[in-house]
Amino acid sequence: MNIHEIERLNIIQPDWRIADLVKDNLNNIAKPLDSLGKFEDIICKIGAIQGKINCRIEKKAVIVMCADNGVVEEGISQSQQNVTAAVAEAMGQNVSSVGKMASVAGVRIIPVDIGINCKKNIPGVVNKKIALGTKNFAKEKAMNEKEASAAISVGIALVEQCKKFGYEIIGTGEMGIGNTTTSSAITAALLNCPVKEIVGRGAGLSSLGLHKKRKVIETAIKKYKLKDADPYEILCTVGGFDIAGLVGVFIGGALNRIPIVIDGVISAVAALLAEKICPGTVDYMIASHKSREKAYSYIVKELELSPIIDADLALGEGTGTIMLMSLLDLAMGVYNSPNTFDDIKIDPYKKQ
């Protein structure tokens, strides 16, 4: 699909009447009203998305988009590009951080090479490579429109495939050296906020590296006049293939009625782009945790989403989504195997 076809996709709202019925069921469980807090809101939202009162999230996956970013040439990262391929290879073998968490939580990890700067096929990693990384946006636009729309289409297609295999909830993850620079640049341009306020140290930049990172972003925003550009142009100019692929995952979730869980700042900026490109996709999103990166707070405020976990996480790879899924399993256990007030022979709670 090209961008015009993507923008014309019909996003249908979740069935919020189902959410009300799910809430009624929660209120009939032998517990104080609203006592599961935000988890009750999420369960109601999942019911509305799936269109089912007996909503379930037993079959879970995390799609991890892996890609390299040409802007690494500017010295804006502590690590070199070969780290992206190395971590992707570990994901393919289920020995990276996200793989270890997934094996405990019963979640399938789907690592995707959407733009790693490596010509070999990586075992265990789905090969959907658009190119050998993006270009250095300090010198030229990161990708052309054909490449960006192809990456978005990859994400949409992967969610469609997950739907066919019966997955009920999908998390988003990424791996790509330099992608806190691309995500910060997109956020600053989209939300017209000061670069200094939103750009952090990523995986551990020195003060000199942080200064350089901010300067590269500020220069690019002025050079390409991004504060006057539309969201798709911003993505093409300073984005990454990992972000573009995740844009497709969020849009695919809305098209296929699957809740999509946001991880940290990179997947959050993809969520924001998805909502800007296809309004209504935000209704299918769940925010997992409050990222350490400064841009994250700006993004979830714009999306009017509230992350559940506040634990100073900055691991990436989709690890925050697995943590939330595990907590959701506990809450869903209460919902799907309830004790009613009649079961334990006490009077129901009433709103005062």
Which sequence positions are flagged as catalytic?
Answer: 317
Residue type, 351: K
Measuring CA to CA, how many Å separate 329 from each of 31, 165, 181, 187, 313?
18, 20, 34, 32, 20
Bridge partner residues of 175 (DSSP):
66
Listed in sequence order, the residues at least 6 apart from 286 whose beta carbon sits closer than 8 Å to its beta carbon are: 42, 45, 46, 259, 260, 261, 262, 305, 324
Helix (H, G, I), strand (E, B) or coil at 113: strand
Residue type, 77: S
Bridge partner residues of 174 (DSSP):
65
- For 193-232, b where at least 16 C-beta lie within 10 A, e where not — what string? eebeebbbbbbebeeebbebbbebbbebbeebebeebebb
Bridge partner residues of 63 (DSSP):
110, 172
In the chain, what is the straight-line distance between the N-terminal and C-terminal CA atoms, in Å?
53
Q: How many CB atoms lie within 10 A of CB 306?
A: 13
Measuring CA to CA, how many Å separate 274 from each of 29, 46, 153, 155, 337?
36, 19, 12, 11, 35
- Give the orientation angle of helix 38-50 with respect to helix 16-27, to 10 degrees: 140
Q: What angle do CA 166, 268, 82 make, to 5 degrees?
A: 90
Alpha-carbon distance of 259 to 252, in angstroms, equals: 10
